[in-house]
Amino acid sequence: MSDSRPAKSAGYLARTRPVVPPIYQSATFYLDDLAYKDIQDGGLREHWYSRFANPTVDAAAAEIAALEGAEAALMTSSGMSAIATTLLTLLPGRTVAARQVYGDTRDLLVRDLPALGVDVVMVDATDIGAWAEAIAFAPTAVVYAETLSNPQLDLTDLAALAELAHAGGAKLVVDNTFATPYTVNPLRHGADVVVHSATKFLSGHSDVIAGVVLGDAETVTEVQKRVITFGGCLDPHAAFLVWRGLQTFDLRLARSCATAAQLAERLAAHPEVVSVRYPDGEIADRLMLPGRRGAMVAFTVRGGDSRALAVMRRLTVASEATSLGGVESLVSTPFNSSHFSLTPAERAAARIDDGMIRLSCGIEDPDALIADVERALAATV
């Protein structure tokens, strides 16, 4: 009986280079002498098993590295995988982190890392004096912050924080998910490692879960070793969806950021809105690219969380859903979604107001979205 398997020469592959990267939906690859040598060296470079490396996943990582100006990038199975694996790679050691962080990141910092014996201290992200005191108090391995905090949209002074971290012998890790490389490149302001939930603005279509770690090649390689052993690798089809979304990244963000700026301005003058959170001021002028303040708006309505929930559920253009960064506008109330695990006192300490609504602006018509929000506010007075 003849052997019908494809020839090992891979002659069935296209002769010319494809415009769109192929989806290498293969768990394993043919071995040769180079692959065997790579395996013996740790298996970090050649493509021979997709938990270690995959060409489609590498293509997505390269796109994001270019956006962030990073020497190296590594895709992971989710944003939380990127965050947790990075921190576990840079530890053991004391960690100083922002108090204003994503709810699951907070759980990692206050529940999981201390259970592993890690000393974690949390400070107000905007209080540079508190950062300085905490970092100088004892030897510190990692300083962790979000460029724009979730959901308060507090902007961290990354340049000042990087100086403090490095003076204390620590690495600065920055979650740039909310700000995106369209508005800020943390590595250029002194960050050592940048992480993203690529689920959000990078992929942009609410159809994939993914994360990414960026930094110098040595550090990213160390994180890759833990991704291999912890199993947090990204599926190649998911990586392709991230790559495809990245092809319209600048176009999407230009539209979304412009809409967010208009919405923030209108809400600031609205009588039923107590406050609006949107990046502004001297730190924003220094860190953020001109005219680019992000696509997120957080605002607090009169009447507390019950009113916020009623307003949100009157919206017809924006969709009530968790996550952010899609082509559709997404809206949520932190008290019952991203930060439900915090007590009311803990939310207040983190400056998450009663009545806060978090809105991720998509690419709909700006006037339609703004009118939608204003109708919902009027209908719930």
Residue range 189-231, pLDDT digits in tens: 999 999 999 999 999 999 999 999 999 999 999 999 999 999 9
Tell me the CATH number at 270.
3.90.1150.10
Q: Which residues are catalytic?
A: 51, 102, 175, 200
Number of structural domains (the chain) is 2
pLDDT tens digits, residue range 327-364?
999 999 998 888 888 888 988 888 899 999 999 999 99
Q: Which domain holds residue 261?
A: 249-379
Among the candidates 246, 270, 304, a domain finishes at 246
Residue 3's pLDDT is: 44
pTM here? 0.94
pLDDT at 5 over 80: no
330 and 352 in a single domain? The answer is yes
Looking at the structure, do residues 240 and 261 belong to the same domain, yes or no?
A: no
Task: Report the percentage of the chain scoring pLDDT > 90.
Answer: 88
Residue 1: per-residue pLDDT: 39
Residue 72, φ and ψ in degrees, nearest 5: -150, 155
Same domain, 51 and 170: yes
Residue 7 scores a pLDDT above 70: no
String of DSSP letters for 79-127? HHHHHHHHHHHH-SS-EEEESS--HHHHHIIIIIHHHTT--EEEE-TT-
What was the pLDDT predicted at 348? 87
Whether residues 55 and 172 share a domain: the answer is yes
Q: Is the pLDDT of residue 372 over 50?
A: yes
Q: Beginning with the edge strand found earlier in the chain, give each strand of the sheet holding 72-76 in spatial order.
A: 72-76, 211-215, 193-197, 171-175, 142-146, 95-98, 120-123
Q: 44 and 179 share a domain?
A: yes
286 shares a domain with 209: no
In a domain, 289, yes or no: yes
Q: Would residue 1 count as lying in a domain?
A: no
Query: Which residue has tokens 């208009």?
Result: 262
Domain membership of residue 106 (yes or no) is yes
Query: End of a domain among 246, 265, 298?
Result: 246
> What is residue 12's predicted lDDT score, i.e. its pLDDT?
58
Last residue of a domain, one of 187, 215, 246: 246
